[in-house]
Structure 1
Amino acid sequence: MDAIKIQIPSLSENIRIIESFIDNAKEKFQFDDDIYGNIMIAVTESVNNAIVHGNQSDKDKNVDLSLTLEESLIRFTIQDEGKGFNYDSLPDPTAPENIEKPGGRGIFLMKNLCDEVKFEDDGRRVELSFYLA
């Protein structure tokens, strides 16, 4: 199946465009409320990371979001134009020394809400997969 794609400039207020994109996908593909909640949180968190951390909130840089549907899987791919990051060396937000720190929760959340999270292109691209069955 072809991917459905959207591109937004790196502005935090564009998260609402992403929310609408996910709402439209829910109607089109009829996924249930449980997975919808997980998708909404994980995808908006990932796009927000791409805007703030990846593209440094530079409105001249874009974030691309695409959605592909396979038999029992829905996959969202988020791509930014930033420098990338080392996703293997992120601190564990649940470790006692990190509990009070505001950062590092987004990827932790994504890993807990998605069935699969895969980073590519030095962290500039992330794939979030959700099983529908």
Structure 2
Amino acid sequence: MADVREFVKSIEVDSTIDNLTKVEAFVDDVCLEMDVRDESYGNVLIAVTEAFNNAVQHGNQGKSTCKVVVKAYEDTGFIKLSVKDEGDGFDYDNLPDPTAPENLEKENGRGVFLMKSLADEVEFEEKGALVILSFKL
């Protein structure tokens, strides 16, 4: 994230789905503080909660002793939110297409697809253990 200009705030929580409400409140605060447009707010909230869910379930494999860190940055016309887990990462370049007929009935596998659909840019670092979501302000 070398291009990031200004750190805004962060939150670190135990890796449990129960902490989703804390992450949602964090996103609310950041969006208010950074004057995110109402029409963009939903995209930010859903993309970050998807990244958080993936961090808990897949990255940290449900281990509540692990942490998830969410950080917010401002970068020339963008708000960037990063979600980092303590896992080993994943092969983000070779994910099954959730829109393929054989995958339509599956309950999982849409998180990265949703993030890419909702954010203006999605980057993966640290072998996928860190996702950076960028949204135009």
Residue in 1 that maps onto 2:135: 130
In 2, Cα distance between the equivalents of 1:22 and 1:2?
14
Pair 1:32 & 2:33 matched? no
Residue in 2 that maps onto 1:76: 81
- Larger mean CA deviation between 13-22 and 97-106 belongs to 97-106
**Helix, strand or coil at the partner of 2:89:** coil
Report the Cα offset of residue 50 of structure 1: 0.1
In 1, Cα distance between the equivalents of 2:7 and 2:115?
24
**Helix, strand or coil at the partner of 2:112:** helix
Report the Cα offset of residue 113 of structure 1: 0.1
Residue in 2 that maps onto 1:65: 70
**Helix, strand or coil at the partner of 1:21:** helix
Of the candidates 15, 20, 29, which is equivalent to residue 10 of structure 1?
15
Q: Compute the TM-score of the two structures, normalised by the length of structure 2.
A: 0.93
More helix by share: 1
Residue in 1 that maps onto 2:106: 101
Q: Compute the TM-score of the two structures, normalised by the length of structure 1.
A: 0.96
Report the Cα offset of residue 2 of structure 1: 2.4
Of the candidates 112, 117, 137, which is equivalent to residue 112 of structure 1?
117
Aligned-residue CA RMSD in angstroms?
Answer: 0.9
Which ranges in structure 1 are unaligned for 5 or more consecutive residues? none
Instruction: State, as a whole percentage, how many aligned pairs show the same letter.
Output: 46
Runs of 4+ in 1 over 2 A off after TM superposition: none
Pair 1:20 & 2:10 matched? no
Counterpart residue identity of residue 63, structure 1: V
Which ranges in structure 2 are unaligned for 5 or more consecutive residues? 1-5
